[in-house]
Amino acid sequence: MGLVMPDFGLFFWMLISFSILLYILKRFAWGPILSALSDRERSIEEALKSAENAKEEMLNLQSGNEKILKKAILEREKIVKEARELKETIINEARHEASIEANKVMEHAKAAIDRERAAAVSEIKSLIANFSVDIAEKILKEKLADDSRQKELIQNYIDQINLN
């Protein structure tokens, strides 16, 4: 039975050597192993927290990017709308100014035409008067070339004056 049940001396030395081994392991092995495991656990937890924070930050950035994109799209639409309105305003102003300028040109043209017409009518009247005087002069020269006819014409004028 010696093999199954050890002697007290063997048991005592085994207990002492086991205690020394436990003390050495606890002092030099388990402390650093447990602290390394504890440090590893903390670093894993920190990595998970930082990954979670990074994920949340990425989601925030992504939503921020979407907000910025929406703002940019709205701003672009606003700028395009303002540009269209400005274009329409400029075109309408240009049309209005062109209309006013065309009316002024038309009025000046009408005034010039009226002046030219009046000058032409005045010139025609002057020419007609000159022609009339020339014709009357020729007719009178022809009629008054003879003395007897002159006396007869004078007598007719006198008779007409007395009758009136």
pLDDT band at 88 (very low <50, low <70, confident <90, very high): very high
pLDDT band at 2 (very low <50, low <70, confident <90, very high): low
pLDDT band at 164 (very low <50, low <70, confident <90, very high): very low
Residue located via tokens 């009758």 = 163
Do the beta carbons of residue 143 and residue 149 sit within 8 Å?
Answer: yes
Does pLDDT of 163 surpass 60? no
pLDDT, one tens digit per residue, over 112-144 is 999 999 999 999 888 888 887 877 777 777 766
Do the beta carbons of residue 126 and residue 120 sit within 8 Å?
Answer: no
pLDDT of residue 132: 79
Q: Kindly calculate the radius of gyration of the chain based on its CA atoms and give it in whole angstroms.
A: 65
Phi, psi of 70 (to 5 degrees): -60, -45
Mean pLDDT of the chain: 86
More confident residue, 125 or 48: 48
Does pLDDT of 74 surpass 90? yes
Q: What is the mean pLDDT of residues 100-108?
A: 93
Q: What is the mean pLDDT of residues 103-117?
A: 93
pLDDT of residue 162: 61
pTM of the model: 0.40
d(CA 88, CA 65): 34
Count the helix, strand and coil residues of the chain and give each as a percent rounded to the nearest 5.
Answer: 95, 0, 5
d(CA 33, CA 78): 65
Q: What is the mean pLDDT of residues 61-86?
A: 92
pLDDT of residue 3: 61
Does pLDDT of 1 surpass 60? no
